[in-house]
Amino acid sequence: MSSVHFENVSKHFGNVVALADLDLHVESGEFVSLLGPSGSGKSTTLNLLAGLLDADEGAIRIGERVVNHVSPDKRDIAMVFQSYALYPHMTVFENIAFPLKARRSRVPKKEIEERVTAVGEILGVEALLHRYPKELSGGQQQRVALGRAMVRDPKVFLLDEPLSNLDARLRIRMRRDLKALHDRIASTIIYVTHDQAEALSMSTRIAVFDRGRLQQFGTPFEIYNRPANTFVANFVGEREIVFFEATARVDGDSLAIETEAETLPVAGKLPGAQRLTGHRATFGLRAESLRLADETEGTIPAVVSEVEPAGPDIIVFATTAGGLDLSCRVDGGTAIARGSPVRLAIVPDRLLAFDRETGAAIAVHG
């Protein structure tokens, strides 16, 4: 296993900037997800690292070795493709054994047999080894594709949306299996996804991309709770975040948010509130940023407009006196009806604030 470094790497396709000035340093043994909407440059990043594309500018390193001009077969990486890319004319066994039979790897025949069988058992495809890819279900094909990568001992694993075609259940199981695999072999994994739940649940760190630019590189906690800008804040989170522009009224380390129509108190202390002084800010509130409160002091009166069951929780949509539509996640056992008045409290730790011009986060949490 190895570390992976992108140093000021750019890639253009004609006029399209697929990747702009990427600086990304992945440490050895990390599980890093590349997260972003369609066309944001995730696959481009992966293909550059695999050697399937050539960078226009910048250096790409695997460990200490600059690989810009090293062909894919000499980079010692394993990759699982978005489309699986199983060799249709080979059995499952031959597919998994294929990397071991390459001239470079020189694995003895007996060992090939052992390793393929072992991988087949781990992935639960040991009974299918003699079948051809077209005789497998989507989930089985996907596991064979994983097996072909696992059977090697590469410097880096690259996975391009490997779970995107599985049903929801299998997907969640495979997520756990992948994480377990990473824990066991402790190899460097770079994982492309546009499913934030996958990224948040498996990664040691997440790189969020938008339109070819790296927006933020951080732990799942940081990405979710301390998004670097409005794009990241909006992109992660199960539901849309509520953004509104307002002026901050700072008093020591406590804060009130003044919109044109009303003043929203923030119940509790915000250590970095001072940084808002003089800023015209955009505030962001997720469903988790609010809670239902009993007290009247420091809370916001609102009227319930909609109640939406969401698995174990319910999401309460409520409109404030000033006409701001907020949502709040509460326990599924809460009895609440449309039209009833409630009081909402802003959870200080979950309040997000951004510069109105640049969209960059303001560190209100200290």
Partner 1 sequence: MSGAPSWRARRRTRLVTGAVVNTAIILFALFPILWGLSTSFKPADEILRFPPELIPSNPTLENYALLFRTGIERFVLNSTIVSVAAVVGSLAIGSLAAYAMARLAFRGRTTLMFAVVALMSIPLPSLLVPTFTFLANLGLINSRTGLALLYTAYQLPIVVWILYGYFLSLPIELENAARIDGYSRLETLWKIVLPLSGPGLVASGLFVLTFAWNDFVVAVVMISSEDYKTLPVAIYGYLGFYGREWGPLTASAILSIIPVIAVFVVFQRFFLGGMTSGGVKS
**Position 40 contacts ligand ATP (CB under 6 A):** yes
CB of 84 to partner 1, least distance (A): 6
Work out which of 5, 148, 155, 329 binds partner 1, going by CB under 8 A.
148
Q: How far apart are CA 52 and CA 72, in angstroms?
A: 7
Per the DSSP assignment, residues forming a β-bridge with 258 are: 247, 263
Q: How far apart are CA 128 and CA 12, in angstroms?
A: 42
**Position 310 contacts ligand ATP (CB under 6 A):** no
Distances, alpha carbon 354 to alpha carbons 75, 89, 238, in Å:
41, 54, 20
Q: How far apart are CA 353 and CA 350, in angstroms?
A: 10
* Binding map of partner 1 across residues 37-76, x = CB under 8 A, - = no contact: -------------xxx------------------xxx-x-
Segment lying near ligand ATP (by CB under 6 A), choices 33-41, 147-155, 256-264, 306-314? 33-41
**Residue 104 binds which of Mg ion, ligand ATP, partner 1, none (CB < 5-8 A, kind-dependent):** partner 1
**Position 43 contacts Mg ion (CB under 5 A):** yes
Cα-based angle 208, 7, 197 (whole degrees, multiple of 5): 15
Q: How many residues bind Mg ion (CB under 5 A)?
A: 1
> What is the separation, in whole angstroms, between the first and last Cα of the chain?
36
Segment lying near ligand ATP (by CB under 6 A), choices 31-39, 88-96, 120-128, 293-301? 31-39
Work out which of 2, 33, 44, 327 binds ligand ATP, going by CB under 6 A.
44
Per the DSSP assignment, residues forming a β-bridge with 60 are: 6
Read off the tokens for 218: 């951080």
Distances, alpha carbon 343 to alpha carbons 19, 86, 280, 356, in Å:
46, 56, 26, 28
CB of 147 to partner 1, least distance (A): 12
Residue-wise over 174-188: b if at least 16 C-beta within 10 A, else e?
A: bbebbeebbeeeebb
Contact 240, 196 (CB under 8 A): no
Is the CB of 51 or the CB of 348 nearer to partner 1?
Answer: 51
Read off the tokens for 272: 């970095």
**Residue 138 binds which of partner 1, ligand ATP, Mg ion, none (CB < 5-8 A, kind-dependent):** partner 1
**Position 84 contacts partner 1 (CB under 8 A):** yes
**Residue 228 binds which of ligand ATP, partner 1, Mg ion, none (CB < 5-8 A, kind-dependent):** none
Distances, alpha carbon 49 to alpha carbons 28, 54, 114, 271, 279, in Å:
15, 9, 30, 41, 41
**Residue 103 binds which of Mg ion, partner 1, ligand ATP, none (CB < 5-8 A, kind-dependent):** partner 1
Query: 206 by DSSP, 3-state: which?
Result: strand
Within 13 Å, how many C-alpha atoms sit on residue 343's CB side? 11
**Nearby residues of 126 by Cβ (< 8 Å), 6 or more positions away:** 117, 120
**Residue 50 binds which of ligand ATP, Mg ion, partner 1, none (CB < 5-8 A, kind-dependent):** partner 1
Read off the tokens for 51: 């050697």
CB of 349 to partner 1, least distance (A): 43
**Position 42 contacts ligand ATP (CB under 6 A):** yes
Q: What is the CA 137 to chain-centroid distance, rounded? A: 27
Is the CB of 31 or the CB of 209 nearer to ligand ATP?
Answer: 209
**Position 85 contacts partner 1 (CB under 8 A):** yes
Is the CB of 235 or the CB of 283 nearer to ligand ATP?
Answer: 235
Binding site for ligand ATP (CB under 6 A): 13, 16, 18, 36, 38-44, 194
Binding site for Mg ion (CB under 5 A): 43
Binding site for partner 1 (CB under 8 A): 50-52, 71-73, 75, 77-79, 81, 83-89, 98-99, 102-105, 132-136, 138, 141, 148, 165
